[in-house]
Amino acid sequence: MPWGEERVLTVIEALRSGLGPDFLVIPAEVPEGRMETSVFLRSLEALLEALAGRGVKIALKPARGAAAGLVSLLKEVRCDAVGYCWDDSVGCDLDIISDRLFCAVGAEGADYPSLQRLGYRWNVAIPAMDPLAAAELLASLENSHPMIYFPQVLS
């Protein structure tokens, strides 16, 4: 779905599900041109206004190769309220988004030790439509990386 009013309304509608999300993870690419950039930034601003006081944060999930451009754009406009969702399966460069990493998506074979080295402390989401499959993935993750949620070295 392209950025704009329809996307903003869809995201706001998702908040009515009653799930009490901590983060809204929104896939994003680097907008091209002035018009697309303007629509993108206005949409983010509208979402931030709609989320004010709800305790829900926006985490952009960069498309493959988009992290550097998104980080540059958001720094340029001083958009500090928006963070990022790391997803190793789309090749998101962890170093580029590390200062604004809000959440992460787990996948088979993901580079979890990199999260540990950063001192990453948030939960890792496991995408699954079936509760049994999700439970198996979570158990596998817990067995292979029991300390993923905390840093290896405390400073």
Token pair, residue 50, equals 């709609």
Q: What is the mean pLDDT of the chain?
A: 81
pLDDT at res. 122: 63
- Number of C-beta neighbours around residue 49 at 10 A: 9
Residues 4-24: tens digit of each pLDDT: 888 888 888 877 766 667 788
Q: Report the pLDDT averaged over residues 110-120.
A: 75
Compare 101 and 90 and report the one with higher pLDDT: 101
Local structure of 125: helix, strand or coil: strand
Map out the domains of the chain as residue ranges.
Answer: 5-144
Domain 5-144 has CATH 3.20.20.150: yes
**Does residue 108 have a pLDDT over 70?**
no
Instruction: Compute the residue count for the chain.
Output: 155
Distance of CA 9 to the CA centre of its chain: 19
pTM over 0.85: no
Q: Which of 32, 100, 34, 35 is nearest to 61 (CA)?
A: 100
Q: Report the pLDDT averaged over residues 134-155.
A: 64
pLDDT at res. 146: 63
Q: Where are the beta strands (DSSP E) in 51-91?
A: 57-62, 82-87
Could you tell me where the DSSP H helices lie in the chain?
A: 5-14, 33-51, 67-76, 94-97, 112-118, 131-144
